[in-house]
Structure 1
Amino acid sequence: MSSNKPLPAPQAKDHLTNFRGNPNISISGTTTFVLGRLADAPLQYAMFTQGWAVKGLVAVGLRASNLLVTAGPGVAGLGPIPTLLTGMYAVSALRHGYWIMFTNNFYWPPDLSLGIIAYNTAVNTFNTVVAVHALTSSPYPILGSFTDCIGWKQWTGLALFASGMLVETIAEESRKSFKKNPKNKGKIDDTGLWSIVRHPNYLGYLLWHIGITLTTGSLIATAAYSCWQLDFFYRTSIPGISSYMATKYGPQWEDYKRRVPSTIIPGIL
Structure 2
Amino acid sequence: MSHSEKVSHSPRGRGALHGDRSDKGSSPLGTAIFAALRILDPVLQYGILLPGPTSLAGPILGLFGGTPLPPESAPVALGLSPWRLTLLGMSLLGSLKGIFYLFYVSETKMPVKTALLVGIFKAFSTTVNSLMFCAAATSATSSYIPDFATGWHPILSIACAIFTVGITVETVSELQRRSFKKHPSGRGVGKVYTGGLFRVARHINYGGYTIWKAAAGLAASGWGWGGLTLLWLLAEFRRRGIPALDAYCEKRYGEQWDQFKRRTRWKMIPFLY
Fold match, TM over 0.5?
yes
Residue correspondence of structure 1 range 86-235 to structure 2 within 5 A: 86-133=88-135, 134=139, 137=142, 140=145, 143-145=148-150, 149-185=151-187, 186=189, 187-235=191-239
Return the alpha-carbon distance in structure 1 between the equivalents of residues 126 and 252 of structure 2. 35
Is contact 1:131-1:218 (8 Å) kept? no
Secondary structure of the structure 1 residue equivalent to 2:71:
helix
Q: In the superposition, relative to structure 1, how do residues 228 and 139 fare at CA in structure 2: closer, same or farther (>3 Å)?
A: closer
> TM-score scaled to structure 2, two decimals?
0.87
Secondary structure of the structure 1 residue equivalent to 2:103:
helix
Q: In the superposition, relative to structure 1, how do residues 192 and 115 fare at CA in structure 2: closer, same or farther (>3 Å)?
A: same
> TM-score scaled to structure 1, two decimals?
0.88
Letter in 2 for 1:6: V
Structure 1 residue 42 displacement after superposition: 0.5
Which one of the candidate residues 59, 67, 71 is aligned to 1:68?
Answer: 71
Is contact 2:2-2:206 (8 Å) kept? no
Return the alpha-carbon distance in structure 1 between the equivalents of residues 43 and 272 of structure 2. 37
Is contact 1:30-1:110 (8 Å) kept? yes
Number of equivalenced pairs:
263
Is contact 2:30-2:115 (8 Å) kept? yes
Structure 1 residue 3 displacement after superposition: 5.1
Is contact 1:164-1:207 (8 Å) kept? yes
Residue deviations 1:132-189 (CA, integer Å, cap 9, x gap)? 12167458476213xxx22122101111111112111111111011111111223100
Structure 1 residue 46 displacement after superposition: 0.8
Secondary structure of the structure 1 residue equivalent to 2:256:
helix
Letter in 1 for 2:213: H
Structure 1 residue 81 displacement after superposition: 1.0
Residue correspondence of structure 1 range 25-64 to structure 2 within 5 A: 25-49=26-50, 50-64=54-68
Q: Tell me the residue number matched to 1:244.
A: 248
Aligned identity (percent) is: 27
Letter in 2 for 1:213: G
Return the alpha-carbon distance in structure 2 between the equivalents of residues 64 and 170 of structure 1. 38
Q: In the superposition, relative to structure 1, how do residues 10 and 265 fare at CA in structure 2: closer, same or farther (>3 Å)?
A: closer
Structure 1 residue 267 displacement after superposition: 3.1
Is contact 1:64-1:136 (8 Å) kept? no
Is contact 2:7-2:16 (8 Å) kept? no
Is contact 2:166-2:207 (8 Å) kept? yes
Return the alpha-carbon distance in structure 2 between the equivalents of residues 258 and 113 of structure 1. 35
Letter in 1 for 2:28: I
Letter in 1 for 2:225: A
Verify: 1:253 aligned to 2:254, yes or no: no
| Structure 1: 5+ residue stretches without partners | none
Structure 1 residue 196 displacement after superposition: 1.2
Return the alpha-carbon distance in structure 2 between the equivalents of residues 224 and 46 of structure 1. 25
Return the alpha-carbon distance in structure 2 between the equivalents of residues 179 and 247 of structure 1. 18
Residue deviations 1:207-226 (CA, integer Å, cap 9, x gap)? 11112111124222111111
Range that drifts further, 155-164 or 21-30: 21-30
Q: In the superposition, relative to structure 1, how do residues 191 and 141 fare at CA in structure 2: closer, same or farther (>3 Å)?
A: closer
Return the alpha-carbon distance in structure 2 between the equivalents of residues 11 and 163 of structure 1. 22
Is contact 2:2-2:205 (8 Å) kept? no
Return the alpha-carbon distance in structure 2 between the equivalents of residues 139 and 169 of structure 1. 30
